[in-house]
Structure 1
Amino acid sequence: MHETDVAIIGAGPVGLFAVFECGMLKMRCTVIDALDAIGGQCTALYPEKPIYDIPAHPAIAGGDLIAALDRQIAPFAPRLLLGQRVERMTDLGDGWIVIATSAGETVRAKAVIIAAGAGAFGPNRPPLPGIEAFEATSGVRYFVNKREDFRGKSVVIAGGGDSAVDWALSLKDIAAKVMFVHRRPKFRAAPETVAQLEAAAERGEVEMVVPYQLHGLAGDDGVLRAVEVATLKGEIRTLPADHLLAFFGLSMELGPIAEWGLGLTHNHVTVTPATCETNIPGVFAIGDIATYPGKLKLILQGFSEAAMAAHAIHPRVFPGEALHFEYSTSKGVKTA
């Protein structure tokens, strides 16, 4: 067992920024994550995907954002427990909360911040016969690690959300051909990027295959040769392709978090908006896993929640000590 001021569950961008906010208030942090590297979905799913809503960055790749956050928290030297997930959380009732991990680690903390995204995640797979063989050879993928893998390739992108639209725009400049499959001419992505996709289609940079849905896969020994698509009327087209990128969202499950007695609303943890505290004193939730009226699922809102939670935690770590808040511009941070 080791003691810390704040235990942070989740090493995604919001969890990492919580380390910075706690560090600015002289609170030590231990960060626990089931993945073997920091960054959460930004590292595991879209390290090269551009993110457009980070202040002062017109666009920044997911991996670059995590690298910058890592540098930002370095002066505070958080302890990282990676490749293990929190199995149990126990409120001792004496101002301490104990959490135990799957690797046998035990952490005793004055407060806990749950920044676990929306829990464990995995892709929603399209129900296509024989898809497993093409997944094994990367002919079918659900996220992009290296943009260069698609240089000179024919790529079919299926989906109607931000990931599908963003990657169509990103890959059109290096792929031999990008074909965009969607069941209708309306999209769930940001209006500006949809406008860019439509403009790219008019210029012939992206072929819009609408209204179609995925119907089947063709190839030998796991090597993808073509993607079959069909209309609701049963009209079938065959699209020669080297890769299928299927972006139908992620399936989420809270795992052990669901058994901790937290107030839940549709698999999200309900918090008090002003502090991000849950129904359990000393336990806070921030980022995608937290919900309250007016909540927006944006990284920048998660950053704000990290700051609010850190300030709400300070009295638990330093009871009776007045917090004379200073702006980071006046306080400064010593860099490593």
Structure 2
Amino acid sequence: MAAIETDVAIIGAGPVGLFAVFQCGMLRMRSVVIDALDSIGGQCVALYPEKPIYDIPAHPAIEGAALIHQLEAQAAPFKPVYLLGRRVERLAAEGDFYHLGTSAGEEVRAKAVVIAAGAGAFGPNRPPLAGLAGYEASGAVRYAVARREEFRGKRVVIAGGGDSAVDWALSLKDIAAKVTVVHRRPKFRAAPESAARLDEAAARGEVEMAIPYQLHGLEGDGAQLSGVVLATLKGEEKTVPADHLLAFFGLSMELGPIAEWGLGLSHSHITVEPATCMTSLPGVHAIGDIATYPGKLKLILQGFSEAAMAAHAIHPRVFPGEALHFEYSTTKGVQAA
């Protein structure tokens, strides 16, 4: 199989990886994008396509899937090549190029690499409850929301204390028959404004708060859920009638082959130089959630900024000896590849 040649190989087709396509394209650099998922979008599409995101500039609120659609359209003029449903298993330097081998057998030859792999392969942290698998298989227990409408008129128990639990409680309270939030303590780890809105909704009787409780068991026929058993640390139990349990206890991350590439990992993250996002390997950059440096904020908008910095840092490697005269997009426009 002939190698696919490109200027930049981007590992990860989430929002930050897609914006990297645009930034590279604006500097006349071609991109190949590789992602283990079968579609673009990363966690935005896989985990919360209908979840509103509030911190994207110029969008007071935008759903995850809509954000990905817009980013795809923004990158489209630069004709990126998408290799989806496979992961990068090998990375090797050869002269001024990097060779990447995918699980589907392709060879990609690139002058630079951008790792925008989020935090690698991800999966939900599952609660240790008896009979869980059967309820997962039926969809009664879930770890993400793909369509809000599936919960219309349903009794929903939401467990967790972070942004996902709080945001979905606020989002589903208007369509579900009942929403119960389970958390082991009164203080939530969510954005303060969202936590305050949840408290206000609880005060109005729109959401029931089960605090300080933890998940203790599931009731039903092994597939159809009828109730969720809760317990305090003192052993006090109560059962909340439920059709669905949404458990938001975060994701377990696995970098996979990336961990073997000698990139200077720190707690499953790649340490980069803040001004260029370059790793310990010249020409290999990391952006988004997988990258770490002093002062790093895990926000999509910071990943967007990192995509721009990485693209500008890569330009001299792709076009050696060519001066880069910075221009605003309002001046130069979008010149398709």
TM-score range, shorter chain: over 0.9
Write the distance in 1 (CA, Å) between the matches of 2:332 and 2:197. 42
- Alignment-derived partner of residue 316 in structure 1: 317
- Report 1:230-245 matches (<5 A): 230-245=231-246
1:303 is paired with a residue of what secondary structure?
Answer: helix
1:249 is matched with which residue?
250
Structure 1 Cα separation of the partners of residues 13 and 4 of structure 2: 19
Which residue of structure 1 aligns with residue 304 of structure 2?
303
Q: Give the structure 2 partner of residue 32 of structure 1.
A: 34
Q: TM-score, normalised by structure 2?
A: 0.98
1:47 matched to 2:49? The reply is yes
Q: Distance in 2 between matches of 1:331 and 1:254?
A: 38
CA contact 2:26–2:335 (8 Å) conserved in 1: no
Deviation, 1:221, is 3.8
Mapped to 2, the partners of 1:232 and 1:314 lie a distance apart of: 57
Tell me which residue corresponds to 2:5.
3
**Per-residue displacement from partner, 1:268-326 (whole Å, max 9, x unpaired)?**
00000000000000100000000000000000000000000000000000000010111
SS of equivalent residue, structure 1 residue 189: coil
Give the corresponding residue for 1:183: 184
Residue 78 of structure 2 contacts residue 336 of structure 2 at CA under 8 Å; is this kept in 1? no
Distance 1:72 1:298 in 2: 20
Residue 92 of structure 2 is matched in structure 1 by 90
**Alignment pair present for 1:122 and 2:123:** yes
* C-alpha contact (below 8 Å) 2:123/2:252 kept by paired residues: yes
* Alignment match, 1:104: 105
Q: Which amino acid is the alignment partner of residue 290 of structure 2? A: I
Q: Distance in 2 between matches of 1:58 and 1:168?
A: 19
Alpha-carbon displacement from aligned partner over 1:54-91 (angstroms, at most 9, x marks no partner): 01111110000000001100100100000000000001
2:263 and 2:281 in contact (8 A); partners too: yes
Deviation at 1:335, TM superposition (A): 7.5
What CA RMSD, in Å, does the superposition of the two structures yield over aligned residues?
A: 0.9
Question: Can you give the 5+ residue segments of structure 2 that lack an aligned partner in the other structure?
Answer: none
Q: Per-residue displacement from partner, 1:173-206 (whole Å, max 9, x unpaired)? A: 1000000000000000000000000000001000
Tell me the residue number matched to 1:169.
170
Residues of 2 paired with 1:286 and 1:331: CA distance? 25
Q: Specify the alignment match of 1:266 in structure 2.
A: 267
Measured in 1, the distance between the counterparts of 2:297 and 2:123 equals 22
Shift of the alpha carbon at 1:331? 1.0
Equivalent AA in structure 1 for residue 135 of structure 2: F
The one-character-per-residue Cα deviations of 1:87-115 (angstroms, maximum 9, x if unpaired) are: 000011x2100000000010000000000
Q: Distance in 2 between matches of 1:316 and 1:79?
A: 20
Q: In 1, Cα distance between the equivalents of 2:41 and 2:20? A: 13
Identity %: 77
Moved over 4 A (4+): none
Instruction: Structure 1: state its 5+ residue gaps.
Output: none
Distance in 2 between the 1:58 and 1:196 partners? 16
**Counterpart of 2:183 in structure 1: which amino acid?**
H
Q: Secondary structure at the match of 1:281?
A: coil
C-alpha separation in 2, matches of 1:232 and 1:220: 27
Q: Which residue is 1:62 aligned to? A: 64
- Matched to 2:253, the amino acid is M
